[in-house]
Structure 1
Amino acid sequence: MRSIWNGAISFGLVSIPIKLVNATESHSISFRQVHTEDNGRIRYRKFCELEDREVTQSEIGKGYEDADGTIVPITDDDLSHLPIPTARTIEIVAFVPAERIDPLQMDAAYYLAASGAPAAKPYTLLREALKRSHKVAIAKYALRGRERLGMLRVVGDAIAMHGLLWPDEVRAPEGIAPDTAVTVRDKELDLADALMATLGEVDLEDLHDEYRQALEDVIAAKAAGETPPETPSSTSAGKVLDLMAALEKSVRAAKESRGETAEAEITPLPSKKRTPKKTTAKKTTAKKTTAKKATTKSTTTKKPTTAKTTTAAKKTPPRKRPA
């Protein structure tokens, strides 16, 4: 792989010579601009305003336009000698847990390749240190005319670097959420849980670009003079469906796509937070307990009365018979 930048990783006093290599590649199908009448290529030519003539790429440089319109020429040599330590260095400034990085900040991805045999030992040292710490390194570097943030992490046996946007480059999500207050019912959440469980997980290696495949089929058909295949139009686009019905239908469709038998009724997954209340059982038990107490109290009350009567009868002296 061709390197796009050469420099070094600064890890304290340790310097690791590296080459920056693109970690991703685009498989998108590109088109040319053509004249619709005869399919002639449309090309852009670069002209110098002062000389009014076309110039070659070797004659084109960089320049900064000042407020009054004056052009200040900037050469590659000027950029390579900027008075900052990150001009040719990826300077590690901190180590943090990966969870601290907001995915919204993630930008382009690169591989950092060790440059030469002397770089092998310090490169391996940094890689193993990252592995053992379970952290990522935050670094600053300069690329394409500006200083950037980067995140270094281990991928296999290599060190990868993700370009990061500066925090002030990430917009706050103000005005994005719905303005109107919406209440989501428990049953709707249960159905959403059931749909998530039915869809389950997926191996990203199994996913592919269906749009690119369809586009290749269209190009192949037109090149062979055949009629391109048509995609059936979607009838559900733009329609506002009943949420419960849509969720139930989605669960059934997901089960059928996995070869499972769709049940007549969708049974929502039990929720940990929503437990059935046992109020009725408690009330019935309470009533029975109260009844028992009342019966016991009544029996206890009667016993002393009987006892008193019996005692009184026993204590009454017998009457004397007349002589």
Structure 2
Amino acid sequence: MLHVRSIWNGAISFGLVSIPIKLVNATENRSISFRQIHTEDGGRIRYRKVCELEDREVTQAEIGKGYEDADGTIIPITDEDLSHLPLPTAKTIEIVAFVPADRIDPLQMDSAYYLAAGGAPAAKPYTLLREALKRSQKVAIAKYALRGRERLGMLRVVEDAIAMHGLLWPDEVRAPEGVAPDTHVTVNDKELDLADALMDTLGEIELDELHDAYREALEEVVAAKAAGEAPPETPEPAKAGKVLDLMAALENSVRAAKVSRGEEPAEPKAAAQVRRLPERKTSRAAPKQAAGKKSTATKKTAAKKTASAKKSTAKTAQGAKKTAAKSTAKKTTAKKTTAKKATPRKRTA
């Protein structure tokens, strides 16, 4: 941080407390930039500032500011005109409120800066503000002036430092009108469950593990050209299949995420188009054999039960026949007895 040049010097106004600070950039642009050249001889192409009326190049000292009116008229604005503007935050970051961090819409986030303490006298009040922000679990909303205009900022704690995010003014954030689909769509629970499964499968990641693969490939191309070698061949990206079914796309996405994490074996060939996955089998070869044996045993048990039932039925039938025969015999005997009793006896004189 000691080697980073400050872009603004001023103070934080915290009530009646003033904290001298230096504003330094918290981010840096790592992208590779190119120069425009003449393709025939490699000469640099430069832009020159030319006055349209005199048709000649002018120096920086001759250039000023002007506001173009609706009819195209240019109204000159001097630095003296701007110096009379009521800008109390010209050299001050004025804290106006403390709010919960979730009150800030991420759409308002702009450039990020670190606020470095301006010398030893600033150490005590700087630490006081930092610890107060930590304990309150809030962020500070402030106004400050930078590059000729007043801006809105948010102060928060990052490790042992105070960072400030430039914020867009609320009226600079557009409403999302006309952005969402205007077609009525219904999402069912099964689709949401698959989306949740995909989110769980992808899981979390450490942001430090992410890197700019495009910039690295571009550096390889530049290095190869500088060494007089052919640039490396870049493999063509896999063509995405046409989404025919949202459910199938979600299922395939979950499967692909699990394969990438080694949770499932990769399929031999990927389908050209998105299709429904086949139903998963709940058992393998060994369980199938066991199931077969079990089925055979069940059949044998059923056969035994059937034979037993037949024997029981036969026994029951035989018993019924014997009972019926005994009953018939008893009835016959009863009839004979009744007949004997009904025969009149001869009386003797």
| TM-score of the alignment, normalized to the shorter chain, above 0.5 | yes
Q: Which residue of 2 aligns with 1:226?
A: 230
Q: Which residue of 2 aligns with 1:182?
A: 185
Distance 1:247 1:70, change over 3 A: closer
C-alpha distance in 2 between matches for 1:143 and 1:266: 62
- Match of 2:20, SS state, is strand
Aligned residues of 1:218 and 1:229 also touching (Cα < 8 A)? no
The corresponding residue for 1:271 is none
Q: Which residue of 1 aligns with 2:204?
A: 201
Q: Percent identity?
A: 80
Task: For residue 57 of structure 1, report the CA deviation from its aligned partner.
Answer: 3.1
CA-to-partner distance for each residue in 1:268-297, whole Å, 9 max, x for gaps?
A: xxxxxxxxxxxxxxxxxxxxxxxxxxxxxx
Q: Does 1:8 align with 2:18?
A: no
Which of 72, 79, 83 does residue 76 from structure 2 map onto?
72
Aligned to 1:191: 194
Q: 2:165 aligns with which of 155, 162, 165?
A: 162
Is 1:99 equivalent to 2:102 in the alignment? Answer: yes
Encode CA deviations 1:7-44: one digit per residue, 9 max, x unaligned: 11111111111111000000001011122233221110
Structure 1 position 67, deviation (Å): 6.2
1:270 maps to which residue?
Answer: none
Work out which of the residue numbers 87, 111, 124 in structure 2 matches 1:121: 124
Identify if the C-alpha distance between structure 1 residues 144 and 62 changes in structure 2 by more than 3 Å, giving closer, same or farther: same
1:132 corresponds in structure 2 to: 135
- Tell me, yes or no, if the aligned pair for 1:80 and 1:88 is still in contact at 8 Å: no
CA distance in 1, matches of 2:165, 2:26: 9
Unpaired runs of at least 5, structure 2: 267-277, 282-349
Query: CA separation in 2, counterparts of 1:158 and 1:62?
Result: 37
Aligned-partner SS, 2:150: strand
249-258 or 199-208, larger mean C-alpha shift: 249-258
Moved >6 Å (runs of 4+): none
Q: Give the TM-score of the pair, scaled to structure 1.
A: 0.76
- Pair member with larger Rg: 2
Q: Describe how 1:303-318 pairs up with structure 2 within 5 A.
A: none
3-state SS, counterpart of residue 86 of structure 1: coil
- Tell me which amino acid in the other structure corresponds to 1:236: A
CA distance in 2, matches of 1:136, 1:265: 52
Check conservation: 1:66, 1:72, Cα contact below 8 A. Answer: no
* Structure 1 unaligned blocks of 5 or more: 268-323
Of 184-193 and 156-165, deviating more is 184-193
Partner Cα separation in structure 2 for residue 166 and residue 266 of structure 1: 54
Could you report, residue by residue, the CA deviation over 1:234-277 in whole angstroms, capped at 9, with x for unpaired residues? 3117x33321221111111111111212598679xxxxxxxxxx
Partner SS, residue 30 of structure 1:
coil
What amino acid is aligned across from residue 113 of structure 2 in structure 1? Y
Partners in 1 of 2:131 and 2:258 — Cα distance? Answer: 44
* TM-score calculated relative to the size of structure 2: 0.70
User: 1:179 is matched by which residue type in structure 2?
Assistant: D
